[in-house]
Chain A
Amino acid sequence: ETGVTQSPTHLIKTRGQQVTLRCSSQSGHNTVSWYQQALGQGPQFIFQYYREEENGRGNFPPRFSGLQFPNYSSELNVNALELDDSALYLCASSLGERLNTEAFFGQGTRLTVV
């Protein structure tokens, strides 16, 4: 077990709604990254937060937004949900934002948009 916890584990939303996913990073870790993993695909990088500021973003529209709090926990918010947003959302925490830092992943939140 990595110490990275995500909530909720499963979620069903209706198209057009908004959703907030949460991640508690491993103790001492100041960096959180979010990934979207569609069924049968590898994870796709959404964005990374380092010391409460966005530190990089993948090819996702602005309706995907995030926050990192002083205790380094994080939220992923998705507005105007679309059917294609159905996926497993993974959070990973690490100490520092350098490439040679190991990231520890949570179990993910399975989001289904109907």
Chain B
Amino acid sequence: QVKLVESGGGVVQPGKSLRLSCAASGFMFRIYGMHWVRQAPGKGLEWVATVWSDGTNIHYVDSVKGRFTVSRDNSENTLYLQMNSLRAEDTAVYYCARDLDGGHYFDYWGRGALVTVSS
């Protein structure tokens, strides 16, 4: 069955970096677009980034452009989110999610990784 497992979350000081990983299994990872979506405490869902199957088509929400980098290793079935220059407002649970049939919807989600940016 499809499984997505995020790791790499934790507490980090403002201005520092963190890299999230999402290990995928149970499907042909290399042919699917993948996304990162986050939820700040007490807030709703916010899309963060998308990377298409071959890794060449990438999009970001404006608030993370220039600071976050999404990438993937199709040989390792793993999605990444490199987060630099972290801010307090980046504090959230970060979910990786699989794309549904190229439609920019999210059909399978991980359980999430909590990132807390605090001094």
Partners in one complex: no
Which residue numbers of A lie inside 8 Å of B, CB to CB? none
